Amino acid sequence: EVQLVESGGGLVQPGGSLRLSCAASGFTFSSYSMSWVRQAPGKGLEWVSYISSSSSAIYYADSVKGRFTISRDNAKNSLYLQMNSLRDEDTAVYYCARVEIVGATRWFDPWGQGTLVTVSS
Amino acid sequence: EIVLTQSPGTLSLSPGERATLSCRASQSVSSSYLAWYQQKPGQAPRLLIYGASTRATGIPDRFSGSGSGTDFTLTISRLEPEDFAVYYCQQYGSSPPMYTFGQGTKLEIK
């Protein structure tokens, strides 16, 4: 069974840092691109970052560029999101998602269950 | 940057009725890059449709996607009680590389 399990969320003060992890199982992790997507309380979905299978291509949403860093360890089947200089508006559930790329088609499937990050003093 | 606008914001229907959800892009989007997701309260999103019209594995055939260019539609032919949820469209843009979601349509029981 394909599974993604996020961890590392919690309460952090504005300006603080947090590192999220996503453990993958049930598929060949090193063959897939991955992404982080977040959802503020009661709000819609917002894409955060993307990393290709070999880490050769990395992209960020403008809202987190320069503050967040995505990385992966294919030997450990794990995806990470280092979040620095956190702001109140970064409060959200953070999901990791596998990126399916078939020809020109792209989509997110599956998604993890999410981990809640709360930025508050 | 492409903006996706979903309408209506909330759709109130009864089980057995037909639901039509719209996703409009601010500029033309490749059909290959358009996907739809379903999200129920407290759950992660679930893929329904990719490539604008291809159902994901295990998705019932009452769900269908259509459209091209700037106008895309998700249709649920006969609503089942488990279909009441929030639906999001999503597109991939290559210049610059980024993914964008619509703001969502909440499908609620009338």
- CB contacts, 8 Å: A100 with chain B: 50
Residue pairs between chains A and B whose CB atoms are closer than 8 Å: 69
Q: Given the DSSP bridges, would you call strands A10-12 and A115-119 parallel, antiparallel or unpaired? A: parallel
Phi-psi region of A45 (alpha: psi -120 to 50; beta: other; left: phi over 0): beta
For the stretch A17-35, what's the b/e string if a residue is b when 16 or more beta carbons lie within 10 angstroms of its beta carbon?
Answer: ebebbbbbeeeebeebbbb
pLDDT for B33: 93
* A3 band by pLDDT with thresholds 50, 70 and 90: very high
Dist CA A42 CA B88 (whole Å): 14
Residues of chain A with pLDDT > 90: what percent? 95
Does any CB of chain A come closer than 8 Å to the CB of residue B99? yes
Choose the weakest-confidence range: A73-77, A107-111, B94-98. Answer: B94-98
Closest-CA distance, A20 to chain B, in angstroms, reads: 17
**Best B47, B99, B100, B101 residue to mutate vs chain A (most A CBs within 10 Å):** B99
- pLDDT at A88 exceeding the cut of 90: yes
Interface of B with A in 37-56 (CB under 8 A): 37, 39, 43-47, 50-51, 54, 56
Cα-Cα-Cα-Cα dihedral sign, residues A23, A47, B44, A116: positive
Place of tokens 């979903």: B6
Helix (H) or strand (E) segment spanning residue A112: none
- CB contacts, 8 Å: B101 with chain A: 44-47
* pLDDT beneath 70: ranges in chain B: none
Cβ–Cβ of B44/A114 closer than 8 Å?
yes
pLDDT for B52: 96
User: What would the pLDDT profile of A44-74 be if each residue is shown by its tens digit?
Assistant: 999 999 999 999 999 999 999 999 999 999 9
Does any CB of chain A come closer than 8 Å to the CB of residue B10? no
Lookup: tokens for B16 = 């057995």
Does any CB of chain B come closer than 8 Å to the CB of residue A101? no
- CB contacts, 8 Å: B54 with chain A: 105
